[in-house]
Structure 1
Amino acid sequence: MDYTLETSQQKEKLLKTIYTLQLKSISTLQTASPLLRGQRGMGMVTQQQVHELAGKAKNLCGDLDNIKNLLHYCQDDLVQQIPNPTGNRYGGVSGIHCSLDGSIYVTAESAPWVHVLNSRGQTLQSLPCQQTRKESSTFLPEDVTLTRRGMVAVADMMNGAIWVFNPHTTLPRGEWIKIRKVGSPRGIGVDSTGKILVADYAQGQVHSFALDHAFRILNIHSVSDLQGPRYVSPAPNGGFVVSEECGDVKVFMSSHKLLCSLSSKYGHQFGNPAGVCVDVDGSILVADEQRRTVHLFPENGAPICLVSTGLRRPTGVACSSFGHLFVADTGENCVKVFKYHVKAPYSPINPA
């Protein structure tokens, strides 16, 4: 059968099914509503029938959510492959962050650099990770993010420190400022209130704190009892999402109380969860280093495998407001760009 004809028939059948459900539900509502409001009792409707109908309706709503999500997203749509700006001298790319304007910030294993790329993968700027006032002292960034003021912040696991690059100094090229000592910072992010989030791998904690204009630390809070936290990302509810090595992905509220774990909420089994990010729709995206996949966990519906093939060792992930997914593939030492939205959910150029 011709593929176009087959697809057209499938579309027609799906639309007819949804339209039939819509008509039947409206008809039943128009009949039942005045009877249930205007008379005593339930007529001949039994409690068991109500219970069964509620269960079927819940399952049907779940099926419709899944259909909506499967129409909304696409799988394994690789559109670009960006080589590591550092080259092959150091280890593979590991940390990645995408800003609102589409700029990409990349770190690599054992490389004392943060590279800033445009959306096409061209290098805009390279920041050497070096203490300006101590020319021989370099550090190795594990992960990268942007503060609310637009400054680059990195986690330095080797020295147990957080660094922020301040371009507004008397020095011509800016200056890295050491913010605080942390046990073993591995992942870094910024929550919706502007607080810096740090995944402390060895201590099993996530720290959050604010910075004032003089780079002083304010309002430190910590979440404990995590199993090897690796990457951390802000959550839609004002909290954060953190991946645990060889474990789970957990979502915390702004009060730092556990909201849920993705494995229990969605019945999903992780191998070795690594990079996490949250898109503009509030969906959580997780790279699984062991299974070599990236899954999307929507607010409603079942998990969706966005990338099922072509990854060797996915670590960091980031998504743009233009509907693109950036995966730091450490195994192939490059950033792979996938289109995962059928249509971009938001465009800063034309928000409408």
Structure 2
Amino acid sequence: MAHALDTRRQQKERFLRAMHALQATSDRTLQVASPLLEHPRGLGLLTGPHLHQLAQQSQGLCVELDHVGHLLRFQQDRLLRRIPTPGGVRGLHCSVDGMLYLTFEEAPCIQILDLSGHSLHSLPCSLPGTGAFVSEDVTVTGSGLVLVSSLVHRAVYAFYHPSKASQGEWAKILTFESPRGLGVDALGRFLVADYVSGLVHSFSLGSSLKAIGLTTVPGLCGPRYVSNGPDGGFVVSEECGDVQLFGHAHQPLGSLGSRLEHPFGNPAGVCTDAQGNIIVVDEQRKEVTLFPRAGPPVRVVSKGLQRPTGVACASHGRLLVADNGDNCVKIFKYQM
């Protein structure tokens, strides 16, 4: 233990010395250059090739320093807690007030827990005349409205209270060919990944739970999970494919795999944290990778997962991963 602490202290000292050396050298060069550059011939013996090389090297150094900054802010494989989920989880969502909503492989209900794993409430998934149904995914608005998707009924349902005395019931919002992942973007619009059709649908809800402003984004290959993205857009994972990015007006922005040359195995759950970092579960590679706004990806979970599927961000730099190979939700600390 003492040896590990001593090694860590030495590493911190080396890092600080390197940063101070860069800063001191940069300051000295600027102090020398600033008065000379005011002279018409102030470049001295510097030539175009020198300046081109300097620009390239400084750009590379800036990228590397950004990456160092990311590595300083994040940590890897720090497991805080396991929440047992017998039978496996289909979908999960963490609300802004820190409540965990789970849908299950076999159980026709939505289980609501705190992040210590204590059960708070359960919403049975049942429709008059047709009976119980298993939900594919779940999402929750800031006001607490719960939406689920059902592959069997090819529909998205919202749980609401028609009267103050009501225990609540499910109302069908829209029908789709094969609704799977659900999300809510920064503008409060609902997002639905329509797997077989290769579409993502977006809509808002009026006061009477009527869908308004339905739009569709085509051209996807087996969309599984969808989440809000940076700057008001959204991100969607494709079965055994890539993770596609879209802007606030649903314009395509390319994919994480092609933009960063990152090889995905089978991307599954996706989410975006408060800083705009996109986090992706890779079911095949059994890892979780964070994609910052700038710089290379950072693996925040590299071991200890059996069959990870869903993912959600929580407060205080925590990450929730549904691991169906281990029948639990694992909570990691990924920020320092």
| 2:285 counterpart (264, 283, 291) | 291
- 2:161 aligns to what? 167
Tell whether the 8 Å contact from 2:224 to 2:239 is kept in structure 1 after alignment. yes
Cα distance change on mapping 1:35 and 1:222 into 2, 3 Å:
farther
| 1:126 counterpart (90, 112, 122) | 122
- State how far apart, in whole Å, the 1-side matches of 2:23 and 2:42 are: 27
- State how far apart, in whole Å, the 1-side matches of 2:185 and 2:39 are: 51
- 1:56 aligns to what? 57
- 1:347 aligns to what? none
Q: Secondary structure at the match of 1:220?
A: strand
Q: Secondary structure at the match of 1:176?
A: strand
Tell whether 2:17 aligns with 1:16.
Answer: yes
Q: 1:31-180 alignment to 2 at 5 Å?
A: 31-39=32-40, 42-84=43-85, 87-88=86-87, 92-131=88-127, 134=128, 136-169=130-163, 172-180=166-174
Give 1:44 deviation, angstroms: 2.1
- State how far apart, in whole Å, the 2-side matches of 1:30 and 1:251 are: 43
Unmatched tracts of structure 1, length 5 or more: 343-352
Give 1:231 deviation, angstroms: 0.3
- 2:303 aligns to what? 309
Greater displacement, 143-152 / 185-194 = 143-152
Q: Secondary structure at the match of 2:231?
A: coil
How many residues get paired?
335
- State how far apart, in whole Å, the 2-side matches of 1:141 and 1:186 are: 9
- 1:207 aligns to what? 201
Cα distance change on mapping 1:35 and 1:41 into 2, 3 Å:
closer
Tell whether the 8 Å contact from 2:96 to 2:142 is kept in structure 1 after alignment. no
- State how far apart, in whole Å, the 2-side matches of 1:101 and 1:38 are: 60
- 1:349 aligns to what? none
- 2:273 aligns to what? 279
- State how far apart, in whole Å, the 2-side matches of 1:38 and 1:19 are: 30
**What letter matches 2:64 in structure 1?**
D
Tell whether the 8 Å contact from 1:94 to 1:329 is kept in structure 2 after alignment. no
Tell whether 2:319 aligns with 1:325.
Answer: yes
Tell whether the 8 Å contact from 2:94 to 2:314 is kept in structure 1 after alignment. yes
TM-score norm. by structure 2 comes to 0.96
Tell whether the 8 Å contact from 2:182 to 2:193 is kept in structure 1 after alignment. yes
Q: 1:241-280 alignment to 2 at 5 Å?
A: 241-280=235-274
Greater displacement, 235-244 / 143-152 = 143-152
Cα distance change on mapping 1:37 and 1:276 into 2, 3 Å:
farther
Q: Secondary structure at the match of 2:335?
A: coil
Q: State the Cα deviation string for residues 51-97 of structure 1 (Å, max 9, x = none).
A: 1111111111121112111121111111111011xx34xxx112111
**What letter matches 2:323 in structure 1?**
D
- State how far apart, in whole Å, the 2-side matches of 1:203 and 1:41 are: 63
Q: 1:216-235 alignment to 2 at 5 Å?
A: 216-235=210-229
- State how far apart, in whole Å, the 1-side matches of 2:38 and 2:210 are: 62
Cα distance change on mapping 1:340 and 1:43 into 2, 3 Å:
same
- State how far apart, in whole Å, the 2-side matches of 1:244 and 1:155 are: 17
Cα distance change on mapping 1:39 and 1:78 into 2, 3 Å:
same
**What letter matches 1:74 in structure 2?**
Q
Give 1:248 deviation, angstroms: 0.3
Q: State the Cα deviation string for residues 233-285 of structure 1 (Å, max 9, x = none).
A: 00121010000111000110011111131112222100000000001111010
RMSD, matched Cα: 1.6
Give 1:46 deviation, angstroms: 1.3
Q: Secondary structure at the match of 1:332?
A: coil
- State how far apart, in whole Å, the 2-side matches of 1:17 and 1:240 are: 39
Tell whether the 8 Å contact from 1:279 to 1:321 is kept in structure 2 after alignment. no
- State how far apart, in whole Å, the 2-side matches of 1:176 and 1:38 are: 76
Q: Secondary structure at the match of 2:126?
A: coil
Cα distance change on mapping 1:178 and 1:21 into 2, 3 Å:
same
